[in-house]
Chain A
């Protein structure tokens, strides 16, 4: 089942082992990003389908962007299939191999998000009971000037200090990080007309 969805480059045993080592020693905290992660035709289809979903404005002191409801309630067959795959035993085992953390099968959150001009997400750590691995599946290409980068913060005494790493959204890139006391991150304000589509959520731990 993994090979039906994933780029075979990421399924080689040696690659998985190397990626795990990389994940665990990454700074400012454990994360990975995989370009061209899914088969291109799947990625195209997912983007096409998520754009059909209804997005709702989310606005507070901490953020402004648009988000779908959790895709568990979507009737879209393609999105349901994708969600089933990501929460399947096979993919969860694969992610466990990559991260070294025990994760629950059939227990993920997934929503579509779109950031448009002036949308942002300010620094926070994602910590909520059960969340173990946060993920983002990017469905847009943005440049540095366009904003929308995922900023990963260095921290000191459980407080974020400066941006340690930036991940620029690129189509069909799957990024994920360990949720912890150190996992401070934000999304840079989007500037201009280019929309930043993504599917994101959390894998839950045992």
Chain B
């Protein structure tokens, strides 16, 4: 039964137990799962403008990153962590306690992140929710995982897409430079780890 309230009302196609078992199996084997049209359509259309309303401020450290970040008010944060969403993540990742406090990030033309020894992330589970609709695939901006041996995995760019990635010890991620084909749009993500 669907619980009321909150932003994260999951698309019914992901609510079935059998589907969730399959997703869990993929996640435990591949350490990664990508779910398109994750939220119920209405829920996504309600959440997206709320993200757009957040106050994004540019942060620029040329050696590591250039993007805009918005802090998420606590009331908003509570609505993100709906019972349904939390249960879903707990089940898929086999984790009891989820504390997902994402950042809202926005990437525009000429913005990026760079891997840097000072910014190394410890092994965790990343949850990335994408709000980028109609993105030009030539524009860059993909969240890209590297495993330290030269292997790269790019996540797709699509609105209403949820990625859950378990990062191993040597795995890091960056957001590709957004080039001029992305000059007329902003790329927004909720991204956080636990």
Residues of B within 8 A of A118 (CB): 138, 140, 179-181
A45-B2 Cα distance, complex, nearest whole Å? 72
A184 in contact (CB, < 8 A)? yes
Give the total of B residues in contact with A, Cβ under 8 Å.
18
- Please classify the interface of chain B as helix (H, G, I), strand (E, B), loop, or mixed, using the class held by over half of its residues: mixed
- Give the number of chain A interface residues (Cβ < 8 Å): 16
Q: Which residue of A lies closest to B174 (CB)?
A: A61
**Contact indicator B62/A160 (Cβ below 8 Å):** yes
Q: Which of B14-22, B34-42, B106-114, B121-129 contacts A (4 or more CB under 8 A)?
A: B106-114
Q: Is the CB of A153 within 8 A of B177?
A: no
Near B by CB (< 8 A), chain A positions 85-135 give 118, 120, 122-124
User: Quick one: which of A61, A124, A153 contacts B112, CB cutoff 8 A?
Assistant: A61
Q: Say if the beta carbon of A62 comes within 8 Å of chain B.
A: yes
A21 within 8 A of B: no
Contact (A123, B180) CB under 8 Å given A61-B144, A189-B110: no
Are B62 and A184 within 8 A (Cβ)?
Answer: yes
Bound complex: CA A191 to CA B174 (Å): 23
Judge if B30 is at the interface, Cβ distance under 8 Å: no
Shortest CB-to-CB span from B129 to chain A, Å, is: 22
Of residues 165 to 180 in B, which have CB atoms within 8 Å of A's CB atoms?
174, 176-177, 179-180
Which B positions have Cβ atoms within 8 angstroms of A?
Answer: 61-63, 110, 112-115, 138, 140, 144, 146, 174, 176-177, 179-181
Q: Residues of A with Cβ closer than 8 Å to B?
A: 61-62, 64, 118, 120, 122-124, 153, 159-161, 184, 186, 189, 191
